Amino acid sequence: MPDDTGTILPVGVTLNTLPDGKQPARQRFTGSSVSIEPIDPSRHGDDLYTAACGPDGDPSNQMWTYMSFGPFADKDDFRAWLAPQGASEDPLVFALIESITGKACGMASYLRITPQWATCEIGSIWYAPSLKRSRAATEAMYLMARHVFEDLGYRRYEWKCDSHNAASRRAALRLGFSYEGLFRQHMIYKGRNRDTAWFAMTDQDWPAVKSAFEAWLADDNFRADGSQVRGLAELR
């Protein structure tokens, strides 16, 4: 494209097919160790409260440090926060159901959904201690990414976190997201400044990321005691 002097200016690649505006589905995704269900506060509320705040939860409440919500004073406080989540379209909130117990033990959401650009973000993720560092937790992230790229045909999938949240930064890289930079003074939450670490994967990244997920999740990648043979990052 020429400027006023006739110089040809660089531009992005012309897309032969433009996004068709699909929205993430309010549907159930089922894996071998976990299912992902649209949040239903009346059905999932007790399990989620127990998972997050019960005797097997995090007594230190550190799990809420980098979340925009929590901690919760009691079950009524938790239910008051959870109640509107079931009707929300963005974020689109899901409960994570462990297959072995049938109980909801975590949450994750699609947010900042932009169908016209074929992009969205995965966020507001929290796991009960029983789900952390588990096969089920990784499978949940695989199922949600697969829906974005294969069912919706999206071009870009984002992960953002407080720059101080070292665990989230490590998780993003392990799952196949690439670090793209730091947004300084991006937002204020809980009365604190947040510099946001920005990660993403694209549809061009997805084939290799998918292959690694599926190799890692395969039964032959786990020993009899449940420990992994090869790490997820090793398989990409």
Q: What is the DSSP string of 70-95?
A: ---SSHHHHHHHHGGGGG-SSSEEEE
Per residue of the chain (236 residues), what is the pLDDT tens digit?
A: 566 777 889 999 998 888 888 999 899 999 999 999 999 999 999 999 999 888 767 777 889 999 999 999 999 999 999 999 999 999 999 999 999 999 999 999 999 999 999 999 999 999 998 899 899 999 999 999 999 999 999 999 999 999 999 999 999 999 999 999 999 999 999 999 999 999 999 999 999 999 999 999 999 999 999 899 999 999 98
pTM of this prediction? Answer: 0.93
Half-sphere exposure of 123 (CA within 13 A, CB side): 22
Q: Which of 173, 140, 143 lies closest to 159, judged by CA?
A: 173
Please give the pLDDT value at position 145.
98
Domain at 29-222, CATH class:
alpha beta
> Is the link from the previous residue into 55 a cis peptide, with omega within 30 of 0?
no
Torsion angles phi and psi, residue 90, rounded to 5 = -155, 100
Residue located via tokens 């996004």: 19
**Domain extents for the chain?**
29-222
Q: Which of 199, 18, 15, 180 lies closest to 115, judged by CA?
A: 18
CA distances from 138 to 9, 133, 166, 218 (A): 43, 8, 18, 12
Q: How many helices (H) and strands (E) does the chain have?
A: 5, 8
Please give the pLDDT value at position 2.
60
| pLDDT tens-digit series, residues 70-101 | 999 999 999 999 999 999 999 999 999 999 99
Q: Which of 119, 190, 180, 123 lies closest to 149, judged by CA?
A: 119
Please give the pLDDT value at position 20.
85
Diameter over CA atoms, the chain: 70
Task: Provide the mean pLDDT of the chain.
Answer: 93
Q: Is residue 48 a contact partner of residue 77, using CB atoms and an 8 Å limit?
A: no
Half-sphere exposure of 16 (CA within 13 A, CB side): 0
